[in-house]
Chain A
Amino acid sequence: MPPGLDNLSHIVVLMMENRSFDHMLGSLTAVNPQIDGITGPLSNPDTTGALVKPQPLAEFQGQLDPDPDHHFPAVDLQIFGGDTSPGRVANMQGFVKSYFNQQEDVGHSQKIMYYFAQNQLPVLTTLALEFAVFNRWFASIPGPTICNRAFAHYGTSFGRVDMNPIDIIEPFKSIYDRLINAHPKHTAKVYYYDTTSSTMEVANLLQNEPELFGTYQQFLSDCSAGNLPDYFFIEPNYSDHDTDSGEEVASDQHPDHNVQAGELFIASVYNAIKQNPNLWQSTVLLVVYDEHGGIYDHVVPPACTPDQFTASANDTGTGQPFAFDRLGVRVPAILISPWIPRGTVVNRVFDHASIPATITKYFLGDYSPRSPRETSADVFIEPNGPAVDPTRNLLSLAAMRTDCPDFDV
């Protein structure tokens, strides 16, 4: 059996906010052509008909204000370019038009095509080049944060495509409930940054099971003590706020929060795990973004297995119902472990339902009930056993790497 899987005891997910793959990692095609980022012929028309090319002019803050629209109707426009006909074909040609709708400023609308140069994001780009980067990890829904994050925790959004609180519909359970109620019992936790930033899982988990939650400071202590749960989910700081110990800058990278603050946060999570040698060899960290935030990406989201829920035409705001049969826009996703070969590029299709699918399969094996979307989602860690498929196992090295980078935070 592969030693990486034999050693694996902890799976960690760090979910950031609202940036597309091309925006954050598109520059890497120039370094590794296997990475499906920005290439020559890409463009989007603006409202004058002029073609706007992606350019490496993204700024850390102050550029995407107002926050680009990423609610369901806006994302529909971004993906289909404004075509609402029955036989329409997705073309990723509506990003500039969509951003124009918010301020009616042609020049400003073009900024939605900007992406970061590699040297601007030393943390994210280094991790992508050093470990496994996913070329086809999509948001679960062409819509906003809450419903997309629900897929990471429940494998479904229970029919929601918006920002309203999620009503949990039996029989589906959160990944945390599955693990802590299993026999043998597993451990699971959500680390939110602090009580002042809190969690995006408030309505469902925090108010009913606050014992599942800890702060980022507790995560750091748990790392030092080697006392981490089997599975845990880390949330960044969602707001600029004062604390008893000083000022905290938002680290979620949600426009118009500072992107460098998010880089620091990602590096600090990585360092905390890496600095404990026992954890480092037994932990896999997934860094992923919840959705694209209205920012340009060139890859058409594929169709997928419909969920058993349908959002009504009224709920979608497009005049058409949605059967959860198409994924959202592509987002950055990187899997980190010393057992992953340097420069791994994964071309299989994933979305956030892959998170509970992977955790469940790895720790619990066969489990039901799960949503149709989760059941059909691919897994990014193979279940350990005598018949691990070497073509799918990303933790494939025979010996642990000793050349993994460190970040000076």
Chain B
Amino acid sequence: MTLIHVPKPDVKSAMNPDRPVNALLKAQIRHLHDAERNLPLRHRTDIYINAIKTEGEAAKYMRQVTEAIHAAHEAAAAKRGRGIAIAAAADEEPPGKAPRANGIKKKRTGKRGRKT
């Protein structure tokens, strides 16, 4: 088995977050911006994408929107889960109570004590 040595780049000279964004990153920003428009307001960034000029700025924007997309889906899934949990709880009778014969719940008529 041959072991091939892989030279590492000099990170100091290779790394340039101030490099102007290339056409590929510009497109990626536009695509993310399109995706961001579909997010609920609370998940959106307030970043003006036309002002993004460098790779470092592009990276910050991408991170925020990518994480926001994941967060928005997780929030929606959690909400969906809560909805299912509430529905499941409604189907269950509290322990010790027999199910009503007619399956109809009695409406509560009296007011509960008002919180002050």
B80 within 8 A of A: no
Interface flags for A297-317 (1: CB within 8 Å of B; 0: not) read 000000000000000000000
Which residues 17-52 in A have Cβ within 8 Å of B in the complex? Answer: 17-18
Interface flags for A229-244 (1: CB within 8 Å of B; 0: not) read 0000000001111100
* Whole-angstrom CA separation of A144 from B24 in the bound complex: 9
Q: Which residues of A contact B34 (CB under 8 A)?
A: 165, 202-203
* Whole-angstrom CA separation of A203 from B27 in the bound complex: 11
Decide if A238 touches B3 in the complex (CB within 8 Å).
no
Decide if B55 touches A240 in the complex (CB within 8 Å).
yes
B41 within 8 A of A: no
Listed by A's residue number, 9 A-B pairs whose Cβ atoms lie within 8 Å are: A18-B24, A61-B14, A67-B23, A196-B60, A202-B31, A202-B35, A264-B8, A407-B4, A407-B6
Closest beta carbon of chain A to B5's beta carbon, Å: 5
Interface flags for B23-51 (1: CB within 8 Å of A; 0: not) read 11111101110110010000000000000
Besides A60-B9, A407-B3, 10 other CB < 8 A contacts?
A163-B23, A165-B31, A198-B62, A200-B24, A241-B55, A241-B60, A249-B11, A263-B7, A264-B9, A408-B5
Q: Residue A267 contacts which of B6, B31, B67 (CB distance < 8 angstroms)?
A: B6
Of all chain B residues, which has the CB nearest A409?
B6
* Whole-angstrom CA separation of A60 from B15 in the bound complex: 13
* Whole-angstrom CA separation of A91 from B50 in the bound complex: 39
Q: Residue B73 contacts which of A61, A122, A211, A406 (CB distance < 8 angstroms)?
A: A211
Which residues 180-228 in A have Cβ within 8 Å of B in the complex? Answer: 194-200, 202-203, 206-207, 210-211
B63 within 8 A of A: yes
Interface flags for A45-76 (1: CB within 8 Å of B; 0: not) read 00000000000000011000001000100000
Given known A249-B14, A260-B9, contact A406–B38 (CB-CB < 8 A): no
Q: Which residues of A contact B35 (CB under 8 A)?
A: 202-203, 206-207
Q: Which residues of A contact B11 (CB under 8 A)?
A: 247, 249
Q: Which residues of A contact B98 (CB under 8 A)?
A: none
Interface flags for A160-181 (1: CB within 8 Å of B; 0: not) read 0001110000000000000000
Decide if B3 touches A408 in the complex (CB within 8 Å).
yes
Decide if B22 touches A195 in the complex (CB within 8 Å).
no
A111 within 8 A of B: no
Of all chain B residues, which has the CB nearest A215?
B66
A403 within 8 A of B: yes
Q: Which residues of B contact A256 (CB under 8 A)?
A: 19
Given known A211-B73, A249-B11, A261-B14, contact A122–B19 (CB-CB < 8 A): no
Decide if A210 touches B70 in the complex (CB within 8 Å).
yes
Closest beta carbon of chain A to B66's beta carbon, Å: 4
B85 within 8 A of A: no
- Please give the residue numbers on chain B whose beta carbons come within 8 Å of chain A beta carbons, in ascending order: 1-9, 11, 13-17, 19, 22-28, 30-32, 34-35, 38, 55-56, 58-60, 62-63, 65-67, 69-70, 73
Given known A196-B62, A241-B55, A406-B2, contact A145–B24 (CB-CB < 8 A): yes
Decide if A146 touches B27 in the complex (CB within 8 Å).
yes
Q: Which residues of B contact A61 (CB under 8 A)?
A: 9, 13-14
Decide if A195 touches B17 in the complex (CB within 8 Å).
no
Closest beta carbon of chain B to A137's beta carbon, Å: 21
Closest beta carbon of chain A to B109's beta carbon, Å: 46
A345 within 8 A of B: no
Decide if A165 touches B4 in the complex (CB within 8 Å).
no
Decide if B14 touches A17 in the complex (CB within 8 Å).
no
Decide if A254 touches B67 in the complex (CB within 8 Å).
no
Q: Which residues of B contact A60 (CB under 8 A)?
A: 9, 14
Closest beta carbon of chain A to B54's beta carbon, Å: 9
Q: Which residues of A contact B2 (CB under 8 A)?
A: 403, 405-406
Decide if A405 touches B4 in the complex (CB within 8 Å).
yes
Of all chain B residues, which has the CB nearest A213?
B70
Of all chain B residues, which has the CB nearest A125?
B4
Which residues 134-166 in A have Cβ within 8 Å of B in the complex? Answer: 144-146, 163-165
Q: 5 closest A-B pairs (Cβ-Cβ)?
A: A241-B59, A163-B27, A258-B14, A207-B35, A260-B9
A404 within 8 A of B: yes
Closest beta carbon of chain A to B86's beta carbon, Å: 23
Q: Residue A196 contacts which of B16, B63, B70 (CB distance < 8 angstroms)?
A: B63
Decide if A240 touches B3 in the complex (CB within 8 Å).
no
Decide if B3 touches A239 in the complex (CB within 8 Å).
no
Q: Which of B5, B15, B67 has the most A CB atoms < 10 Å from its CB?
A: B15
Closest beta carbon of chain B to A9's beta carbon, Å: 24
Decide if A198 touches B66 in the complex (CB within 8 Å).
yes
Q: Which residues of A contact B19 (CB under 8 A)?
A: 240, 256
* Whole-angstrom CA separation of A375 from B116 in the bound complex: 70
Q: Residue A207 contacts which of B17, B22, B38 (CB distance < 8 angstroms)?
A: B38
* Whole-angstrom CA separation of A145 from B26 in the bound complex: 12
